[in-house]
Structure 1
Amino acid sequence: MPIDAAKALAAEPRTGEIAWTTKDVQLYHLGIGAGIPATDPDELRYTLESRLHVLPSFATVAGSGAPGVISGLSMPGVEVELAKVLHGGQTLEIHRPIPAEGTATATHRLAAVYDKGKAAILVLRTEVADADGPLWTNDAQIFVRGEGGWGGDRGPSTRLEPPAGEPDETVERFVREDQALLYRLSGDWNPLHADPEFARRAGFDKPILHGLCTYGITLKAVVDTLLGGDVSRVRSYTTRFAGVVYPGETLRIRMWREEGRVRVAVSAVRGVPPREGGRAWGRGDAPVLADTVVEHS
């Protein structure tokens, strides 16, 4: 069996030093669509080093670049083909605001291996701390097609009841044709997001956007729309990747306010930016992020 759950869970954690600079933060923000309009004061806090605030989802790439997928496949007891792998979900807990530059210690381990029958799910936990204490905890759920069926624990259900009523806010964000190419410079080099031939082998018509790019675009929309642009208010952020996004599509981000949190649903709705007009193409209102919650102060 390519996944040996007992061996994977018994493996020693991997610990290493990570570091990031303001340039890394700025590149990440640009990769999720910040900086439009370029001179907007609300955007400059994401792009100008003298005003830089760090969106908490930067934690998913800080220092080592998207450890949830690539590093998870190199853990003991895990031998699978990259083309069978998708990012199934992400949970991020922020212990205190992320500095614009810093060094820290990151500890990676497989926290769980679940048997979903036709697939396996690996939960890779990354805990990051600096000299002042814990900074964040990341759980990446890695979905591996065709690797289940050994009779293991199916794991907890992550499905939530849909939010009640109409959303409090709805915004749309256009995904540029080169968005995945820019985002991958933050460290996720999976060819699924750039190489058409590899994407076809993985079952897609063309390269798809990184799930974590959609994740970042969505958190920025929530912070800017409902949290007054204050990145320090985010306490945790969790989502399930329910579908793919193709560069050139538009994301519709629906938000519902609840006590201490925001419920979110994201879909791909069309393939031309609203400002350009013309005939829209796309997949209707295809879900791409589900069971999404941003907890805040």
Structure 2
Amino acid sequence: MSSTRSGGPAERPARWRLLYFMVSSSDWLTRQRSMVDFPSPTLLRLASSGLALPGARALLDAERYIERVRDVPSAEGAHTLTYQSRLLGVVPKRNGALIHTAGELFDGGGALLYRMRASAYALGATSVAASGCEPSAPPTPPPPRACDASHTECVGAQQARLYRLSGDYNPLHVDPAAARAQGFESPILHGLCTLGYAVRAVLLLCARGDAARFRAVRARFVGTVSPGDVVRTRVWAEGRRVVFVAEAKGGEEQEGASRMVIGNAYVELDRDAELAVPRPVARL
């Protein structure tokens, strides 16, 4: 499929309309406008808080903290979940701005289920003024020894399309024209999907694959993953805390060095890690 940076409707076959069904205007593809003018849930929440991001070409995951306080109610019966978020601060950078937010997930009775913090990089938003505070967390480098274990896995070619079922329909992850308009050579995997691969690896290596032992994760996104890449997660068990890094390579890079995609990261478990080394599913 051939396309240009402008992302006009004549450049896409009719099936591409299915990729944009979250956009409220049904004639969105008939108007000449940028592919990056996409109302993602994050952008809508920021807009409702009064924050404008003039010039922003993309909103990319920079850092995440997710803490499980208690389990989400079972799927049996009807449940109401409420997510409340707030803007913590904006920090101008050379090529954009860091946007820091915090959120909490509650059940229908008001009980806290999850705490979350996120930092996103608004690429191109160079005229945003500083405001609020910049949350700080101590760095979490790996211990000065070889990793205790590692796990490798190949990202499926259709993984980005499948992950759209989570509710993130940003075309950056599936449309080559949208990816190029935002400065990437091709579509990239969702940041949280990459994090999912890494956290699953940590649980396989250090908690016998038992997701119920998960308590919290903090991670910084330092690179991108593309469908078809091989991701290797290396872990260092430090009691209940498991420090980890994730690296990736793919295509012509298969014979070369891997690139870091997640760093300054750890998973907290409910008790000390129990190291187990599963059979790797791919070589890196």
Specify if TM > 0.5.
yes
Check 1:70–1:269 CA distance in 2 against 1; reply closer, same or farther (3 A cut). farther
Task: Choose which of 145, 164, 171 in structure 1 pairs with 2:123.
Answer: 145
Check 1:247–1:124 CA distance in 2 against 1; reply closer, same or farther (3 A cut). same
1:256 matched to 2:236? The reply is yes
Match for residue 135 of structure 1?
A: 113
Match for residue 292 of structure 1?
A: 265
Q: Tell me if the contact between 2:233 and 2:244 (Cα under 8 Å) persists in the aligned partners.
A: yes
1:220 matched to 2:200? The reply is yes
1:84 matched to 2:64? The reply is no
2:188 aligned partner, one-letter code: I
1:114 matched to 2:87? The reply is no
Q: Tell me if the contact between 2:67 and 2:216 (Cα under 8 Å) persists in the aligned partners.
A: yes
Structure number, greater radius of gyration: 2
2:58 aligned partner, one-letter code: K
Q: Give the superposition deviation at 1:128.
A: 0.9
* Amino-acid identity (%): 32
Q: In 1, Cα distance between the equivalents of 2:168 and 2:234?
A: 27
Q: Give the superposition deviation at 1:212.
A: 0.5
Q: Give the superposition deviation at 1:99.
A: 3.3
Check 1:138–1:108 CA distance in 2 against 1; reply closer, same or farther (3 A cut). same
Q: In 1, Cα distance between the equivalents of 2:158 and 2:126?
A: 35
- The number of residue pairs the alignment matches comes to 225
Match for residue 16 of structure 2?
A: none
Q: Which moved more, 1:182-191 or 1:157-166?
A: 157-166
Q: What's the C-alpha RMSD, in Å, of the aligned pairs?
A: 2.5
Check 1:79–1:269 CA distance in 2 against 1; reply closer, same or farther (3 A cut). closer
Check 1:139–1:68 CA distance in 2 against 1; reply closer, same or farther (3 A cut). farther
2:67 aligned partner, one-letter code: E
List gaps (5 residues or longer) in structure 1.
1-65, 272-278
Check 1:220–1:125 CA distance in 2 against 1; reply closer, same or farther (3 A cut). same
Q: Give the superposition deviation at 1:185.
A: 1.7
1:172 matched to 2:172? The reply is no
CA offsets per residue over residues 157-201 of structure 1, 9 Å max, x none?
664333321111101011011100000121001110011001001
1:223 aligned partner, one-letter code: L
Match for residue 225 of structure 2?
A: 245
State TM-score, norm by structure 1: 0.68
CA offsets per residue over residues 98-129 of structure 1, 9 Å max, x none?
33434212111112222334431112222111
Check 1:202–1:295 CA distance in 2 against 1; reply closer, same or farther (3 A cut). same
Q: Tell me if the contact between 2:95 and 2:124 (Cα under 8 Å) persists in the aligned partners.
A: yes
State TM-score, norm by structure 2: 0.71
Three-state SS of the structure 1 residue aligned to 2:51 is coil
1:292 aligned partner, one-letter code: A
Q: In 2, Cα distance between the equivalents of 1:89 and 1:73?
A: 20
